Amino acid sequence: MGETQLRGERLAAALDIGTSKAAVIIAEADPAGVVKVIGVGTGFHRGLHRGEITDAEALIRAVMEAVIKAERMAQAALPPVVIGIPGTLCSSYAARGVAAVKRPGRRVEAADVERALDAAAAVVIPPERRIVDRLIRTYLLDGQMIEGSPIGLAGSRLEVDVQFITAPLSALAELVNCLGQAGIEVDEAAVQVLAAARMVLAPGQRQLGVVLVDLGAGQTDVAVFRDGQLDTMACLPVGTDNLVRDLSAGLGITREQAEQLVREIGCPAPVNSPLGASLEEDGPNMALLDDMQVEPGEYSDVFMARAEEIWQLVRSHTNREGSGGSLSTGIRLVGGGALVPGMAALGAQLLGMPVDASLPEYLKGLPEACQSPAYAAAAALAQDRVRSMTQSQAVGTSRPASLNVLWQKVREWLKS
Ligand SMILES: Nc1ncnc2c1ncn2[C@@H]1O[C@H](COP(=O)(O)OP(=O)(O)OP(=O)(O)O)[C@@H](O)[C@H]1O
Ligand SMILES: [Mg+2]
């Protein structure tokens, strides 16, 4: 077997199609299983709205640009990719599955767990949707709740409570077809925000309670973890584009000018406050506003109205009635919105909990071009892909092997 072929087998690729950009990451797993990103590419576009394709041509152009850049950097052709499923397309269903443990000695084996999971998957799911991810909440063995995996324990009746994440087949098929026309083979899909949670959140943080917020251009994905489990997953139809649009319309400036203000001034703050950039007399931010003939007070009013709304929407999902378990870790903020000055501090102030907007550890090891929280989703998908390629058999991985089987089924439906 040639070196090129060997290398090809170790390559994994991820494609994150966001509202503002398509990002491609090509990663290589070395024989020891260490993942190294070897190619990154981005293409900007306006062909997607709330997860739905509005301009397929523009989208494909951006994807191709991202692919070509990543291939050039990696010095390798793009292998089949994992695509991210945006939260807007996802719904979640809770189900319980039961399996009898049949063998002599009655110790639970992996096959029993699979049968219980299959039974749970028989839950009534609308015919136009397919299961794309799942989270195991609890195992019960002969009615007793089990901490961790039940494999190896003695018992006769195994129950499992699972949360299935589904996506509409038509939207997935449209995306896969659209990419297929550009010669991109889609081999797997993963729910973006869950992939990001797997990459960014430590198990200890999930146990203490944490909220992952991916603040993007067009939407804000939220995943709330309490007592180690996913409690809520939501996709809010607002992002930094709303700030840009409000400023442009409200202040009579161009989109480009509004984008510049969001990136450079962000959340306007009183002098010496931990919030974003201050609007002190003679400071660079005042000069920027002056140049655009924008009154600081008006800028402040328009920006804050929308920024506060974004955080209030996040809060509405962290304060769900009846949900137990605290959120001691606070909020982990990723996505390009984490770079908007003062956005994290505003969230901390409004929600009364810490907001960590620092660059996720894994992204620090990436090529400089993607050392940005805007690449969290793409990097997480690539990591997921490498994991599912290299250790699909391993027990206890966060994305279980049988999910690959599940995705294989989705792939067959898409191709049929
Ligand atoms: N360096 C920066 N400083 C300030 N803001 C930034 C910076 N880089 C990106 N942003 C903001 O983040 C936005 C893009 O975020 P991101 O790349 O996470 O969105 P996306 O993934 O394309 O969209 P979505 O996830 O909503 O579909 C930009 O439109 C901009 O407002
Ligand atoms: Mg995004």
State the average pLDDT over residues 47-62.
86
Phi-psi region of 399 (alpha: psi -120 to 50; beta: other; left: phi over 0): beta
Ligand 1, atom 11: closest residue by C-alpha:
336
- Please give the pLDDT value at position 406: 58
State the distance from the centre of ligand 1 to the C-alpha of 403, rounded, in angstroms: 30
Ligand nearest to the CA of 357: 1
Q: What is the DSSP letter of 269?
A: B
Residue 374 has pLDDT above 90, yes or no: yes
Listed in order, the ranges of the chain carrying CATH 3.30.1490.110 are 89-168
Residue 2 has pLDDT above 60, yes or no: no
Residue 394 has pLDDT above 50, yes or no: no
Q: What is the pTM of this model?
A: 0.89
Residue 130 has pLDDT above 50, yes or no: yes
Residue type, 152: G
Q: What are the pLDDT digits (tens) for 9-19?
A: 689 999 999 99
Least trusted range by pLDDT, from 188-197, 210-219, 268-277: 268-277
- Please give the pLDDT value at position 358: 95
The CATH label, of 3.90.1150.10, 3.40.50.300, 3.30.43.10, 3.30.420.40, for the domain at 3-88+170-192+362-369+378-415 is 3.30.420.40
Listed in order, the ranges of the chain carrying CATH 3.30.420.40 are 3-88+170-192+362-369+378-415
DSSP of 61-112: HHHHHHHHHHHHHHTSPPPPEEEEEPGGG-EEEEEEEEEE--STT-B--HHH
Residue 3 has pLDDT above 80, yes or no: no
State the average pLDDT over residues 144-161.
92
State the distance from the centre of ligand 1 to the C-alpha of 32, rounded, in angstroms: 34
Q: What are the pLDDT digits (tens) for 86-106?
A: 888 888 888 999 999 977 678
Architecture of the domain delimited by 89-168 = 2-Layer Sandwich (3.30)
**Measured distance CA(23)–CA(15) in Å, rounded:** 6
| pLDDT band, residue 416 (cuts 50/70/90) | low
State the average pLDDT over residues 343-350.
95
Q: In Å, what is the CA distance from 339 to each residue of 169, 328, 335, 374, 404? A: 34, 23, 8, 9, 34
Indicate if ligand 1 lies below 6 Å from the C-beta of 275.
no
| pLDDT band, residue 275 (cuts 50/70/90) | low
Residue 4 has pLDDT above 60, yes or no: no
- Please give the pLDDT value at position 276: 62
State the distance from the centre of ligand 1 to the C-alpha of 324, rounded, in angstroms: 33
Residue 392 has pLDDT above 50, yes or no: no
- Please give the pLDDT value at position 76: 94
Q: What are the pLDDT digits (tens) for 200-217?
A: 999 999 999 999 999 999
Name the residue of 15, 19, 20 to mutate for ligand 1: max ligand atoms within 8 A of Cβ: 20
**Measured distance CA(224)–CA(7) in Å, rounded:** 38
State the distance from the centre of ligand 1 to the C-alpha of 389, rounded, in angstroms: 29
Ligand nearest to the CA of 381: 2
State the distance from the centre of ligand 2 to the C-alpha of 237, rounded, in angstroms: 12
Share of the chain above pLDDT 70, in %: 87
Indicate if ligand 1 lies below 6 Å from the C-beta of 87.
no
Cα Rg of the chain, angstroms: 23
**Measured distance CA(96)–CA(315) in Å, rounded:** 29
The mean pLDDT of the chain is: 87
Ligand 1, atom 8: closest residue by C-alpha:
336
Signed CA dihedral, 140, 144, 147, 151: sign only? negative
